[in-house]
Amino acid sequence: MNIQAPAIHTVEEFLRWNEGREGRYEFVRGRITGMMTGGTKRHARLMLRLAAKLELALSDGFCVTPADFAVRTPLGIRYPDVLVEPAQASTGDSLATEQAVLVAEILSPSSLATDFGEKAEEYTSLASLQHYLVLAQDEPRVWLWSRGEDGAFGKPEMTAGREETIDLKGLGVTLALAEVYRGIA
């Protein structure tokens, strides 16, 4: 869905326009697009659980933010479900980061193609990014893109099952799917 707005041509103009606005919007390829609102309880709990687990597992050198903090991509502005950046990458009044080290999206039926397609391309093109994580919301199943030692991203690795773990080597963290999906059917 495209949104009618005053002449907005730059990321900075979009961020000023979007600040405090009701509804959820992204800015991609020079266009303002509406985002899904009113997600499921499962989606909300999974987002919160992942952010909390990352917050506990990471050192004070990182900052974990859910949903309302933006990441600048080569094509504009995205609002991932969970974002990790170095603690000093942006100030408290920043509206977006340019230094995301982990970006996570939680799948919904309407976001499947975007999360695996254009968002994967945008996020993995960020020089700072170490991991892009996509989580299913209806079962413990995740897809992880990780930056290799050669600096490139390979194909995503899919991991499924409550007994499995995901290794976020770029952050020095291993997450147990049983903990991330605890209480989420």
Length of the chain measured in residues: 185
- At residue 1, the pLDDT reads 46
Judge contact between 104 and 134, C-beta under 8 A.
yes
Tell me the pLDDT tens digit for each residue of 25-37.
777 877 887 765 6
- Residue 18 confidence (pLDDT): 76
Number of domains in the chain: 1
Pick out the chain residues at pLDDT < 50.
Answer: 1
Q: What is the pLDDT of residues 109-139, one digit of tens each?
A: 878 888 999 999 999 999 999 999 999 999 9
Q: Which of 48, 114, 125 is nearest to 81 (CA)?
A: 48
Does the residue 29 lie in any domain?
Answer: no
pLDDT for the residue numbered 37: 60
Confidence at residue 108, expressed as pLDDT on a 0 to 100 scale: 87
122 in any annotated domain: yes
Task: State phi, psi for 118 to the nearest 5 degrees.
Answer: -65, -35
pTM of the model: 0.86
- Residue 30: inside a domain: no
- HSE at residue 79, side-chain half, CA atoms within 13 A, is 20
SS (HEC) of 3-48: CCCCCCCCHHHHHHHHCCCCCCEEEECCEEEECCCCCCHHHHHHHH
| Structural domain includes residue 145 | yes
Determine the pLDDT at residue 29: 77
